[in-house]
Chain A
Amino acid sequence: MMSWFIQHGRALRNALTRLSRSPVGSLLAILVIGATLCLPVGLYHAINEAGTLGRSVLHEPHITIFMAQDADLITVRSTWDSLQAQRGVQSVRYISSEEALAEMKAAPGLAEALSVLDKNPLPHTFVVTAKSADPNQLEALRQEFSGWAKVERVQLDSEWAHRLAALLVFGQHLVMGVALVMGLALWAVIVNTVRLQILSARDELEVSHLMGATRTTIRRPFLYFGFLQGLLGAAAALGLATLGIHLLNGLLTDLTPLFGLDFHLQPFALKELLLCEAITGILGWIAAYVSVTAYLPRSR
């Protein structure tokens, strides 16, 4: 058992020696891997974060009911009563046309524009908070309210969140595609780097073979080499993506308040960091295995 650990320790040291023997070449290879992985890693993280935003909006399912311009107060009262009686409704807020106009007049720049109108163009409005965020139930409520007397328009406020969710599903598929292509590129980079290592170590490998090294023994340092390249490449990718998140957050601080949102990208969670390192390390190991199997000289 001790011997097993020593053999693996030596293989790891050998791999580290190979990496440090040509620091510039190793650094460039790691940067190539990092830059290649940065895009899918960053996109994946951004899409996850946007999904969190969408879900938080869906937790507050609002439906806005705009009454017709000619709806009298009796109809409005009747609508209010009907809404209160609805089982799927949590709460209702009524905004009269006068209140809406007063709010608009308070907005800078709009007061002057509204003063030229001879009558209030705004309808009476109900903002309904539904009990359930289930899209099907919300749609059923929307359709029912649309059929009521003097209801002009019913707007599902969380509709954009559903559209966002649909977009995110598309985005996730896109990221998967990008990740596959970039994974292939990463694979090619590591296969080629290991191939070059094998070519530059021909003499050493030949001597090891003659001294009685098995293929497993000869292969092992190269597997560690691929694994380390994957790990370091992933670390570079995560570093670059974190830098990207930092820069984007600077822009989001100015942008999101315009949409009434308080949103910024969170840094990578420990689970995400470990998952990325593990996947890339294993990918590096497999790529090195393929390269070694293909390029190690075989005995005759």
Chain B
Amino acid sequence: MIRLDAVVKRYPDGHEALSGVSLDIEAGEMVFVTGHSGAGKSTLLKLMAGIERPSSGAVLLNGQNLRQLSNTALARLRQNIGLVFQDHRLLFDRNVWQNVASPLTLAGSYGDDMKRRVGAALEKVGLSDKALANPVTLSGGEQQRVCIARAIVNRPRLVLADEPTGGLDPHYARIILDIFRSFHQAGVTLVIASHDEVALSHYATRILHLEDGRLGGDSETNSAEFAT
């Protein structure tokens, strides 16, 4: 589903965030990307989402070379990718329902179809009763679940999550990871940047380890909890 071929990402200030990274991720995989801060995890996800373009090399999504796509084509492609951020990126001048519905409004969805999808996404993350609440009144864990509901409301086949449990206490982190695991079981491909030890030890089936912008390791695991 995702292929990176000798990808280099160099920023205008000269900093090289990724140096010749090559990897393959199959459809339906749940892959964790780990590494210290500044190792290039977020950059890797941004390249996979088409938010940024590689300086050299190729990022292929379902066989499409993202580097060759126009900005408009990349934007349309992103409408089919679920993005989860550590800082949630919620809009506090709108309620939970409106935040979750925002990708659908961009896609031109309306009416009953929109209501059904938003309702299903909120139910999936257990926030049906908070639909009319302002996100600012929610806890960090709830805000993250709103962010996840927004990511999945378009029923994407790929979800990219950047430190989704960062800053959350273990209880909320586990709720979030359980939600991701249910997506994985439903056949969604997940790429999660994290250095959450609980996540890595209990939920990961494959871990990519980045070190200073290079792929330092790619290991299959056999999570006991995941098997249950």
State the A residues within 8 Å of B (CB): 3, 6-7, 10, 203-204, 206-217, 299-300
- B110 x A6 contact (CB < 8 A): yes
- B108 x A213 contact (CB < 8 A): no
Known: A3-B108, A299-B51, A299-B52. A211 touches B91 (CB 8 A): no
Binds A, one of B19-27, B99-107, B168-176, B188-196: B99-107
What B residues does A213 contact at CB under 8 A? 75, 106
From 42 to 85 in chain B, residues with beta carbon under 8 angstroms from any chain A beta carbon are 49, 51-53, 71-72, 74-81, 83, 85
State the B residues within 8 Å of A (CB): 49, 51-53, 71-72, 74-81, 83, 85, 89, 91, 102-103, 105-108, 110, 150
- B72 x A215 contact (CB < 8 A): yes
Cα distance A206–B102 when bound, in Å? 13
- A299 x B71 contact (CB < 8 A): yes
- A300 x B52 contact (CB < 8 A): yes
Report the nearest B residue to A2, measured CB to CB: B110
- B79 x A216 contact (CB < 8 A): no
Report the nearest B residue to A210, measured CB to CB: B83
- B77 x A204 contact (CB < 8 A): no
What A residues does B52 contact at CB under 8 A? 299-300
6 closest Cβ contacts across the A-B interface? A212-B79, A212-B78, A3-B108, A214-B75, A211-B103, A214-B72
A-B contact pairs, 17 of them (CB 8 A): A6-B108, A203-B89, A203-B91, A209-B75, A210-B78, A210-B89, A211-B83, A212-B81, A214-B76, A215-B71, A215-B72, A215-B75, A216-B72, A217-B75, A217-B106, A299-B51, A300-B52
Cα distance A215–B72 when bound, in Å? 7
Chain B nearest Cβ from A138, distance in angstroms: 66
- A206 x B89 contact (CB < 8 A): yes
Known: A215-B72, A299-B71, A299-B74. A210 touches B51 (CB 8 A): yes
Residue in B53, B71, B108, B150 with the greatest tally of chain A CB atoms within 10 Å:
B108
Report the nearest B residue to A213, measured CB to CB: B106
